[in-house]
Amino acid sequence: MNAAANCPETGFTLRGRVRGDWIDYNGHMNVAYYVLAFDQATDAFLDVLGLDADYRARCRHTTFVLEMHVNYVREIGRDQPYVIGTRVLDADHKRVHLFHEMRHETEGWLAATNELMVMHIDMEARRGADFPPEVQARVDAWLAAQGALPRPDQAGSMIGIRR
């Protein structure tokens, strides 16, 4: 994985390549590894916000994912390069609503999306906690830059059989 921390106006990206052991019996990337790749993108983005390993150890605060939705759009296979773009859809004083898009890095087509709600947690109380001011300022900057962008088609999607 290769993180490229960009500014809020241009977004955040994480690059990777589909590993051979991520391929399932159908010959494409297994669903669990999409979630792993998206989780790595989430962690890398949270590092940019200042919620990195040092912060977690020093402050005894962390983040929990409250809800997650994955849409599998197109198969991606062994050794194919991908890029995950991350957007902030919404945020408040202790939560960030993120949206990831995984695209084939050289061909540009959409492979999958991941939408999630992340909450800042005080590990002593095991409850939600406000972001510290310096993190809140970064969250606010990302939201200001990206919050008004057109909503991705997959954001807010529900599972159901279309009739």
Verdict on whether the full-model pTM lies above 0.85: yes
The CATH number given to whatever domain includes residue 131 is 3.10.129.10
If you average pLDDT over every residue of the chain, what do you get?
Answer: 93
* 161 located within any domain: no
Largest CA distance in the chain: 52
Structural domain total, the chain: 1
- Can you give the residue range of the structural domain that contains 82? 2-146
Which tens digit of pLDDT belongs to each residue from 13-70? 999 999 999 999 999 999 999 999 999 999 999 999 999 999 999 999 999 999 999 9
Q: Which residues contact 26 (CB under 8 A, 6 or more apart)?
A: none
* 153 located within any domain: no
* 95 located within any domain: yes
Q: Distance between terminal CA atoms of the chain?
A: 40
- 22, 8 in Cβ contact below 8 A? no
Q: What confidence category does residue 71 fall into, taking pLDDT thresholds of 50, 70 and 90?
A: very high
* 134 located within any domain: yes
In the DSSP assignment, the letter for residue 21 is G
Q: Which residue shows structure tokens 């960009």?
A: 6
* 26 located within any domain: yes
* 159 located within any domain: no
* 132 located within any domain: yes
pLDDT for residue 45: 95
Which phi and psi angles does 52 have, rounded to 5°?
Answer: -85, -175
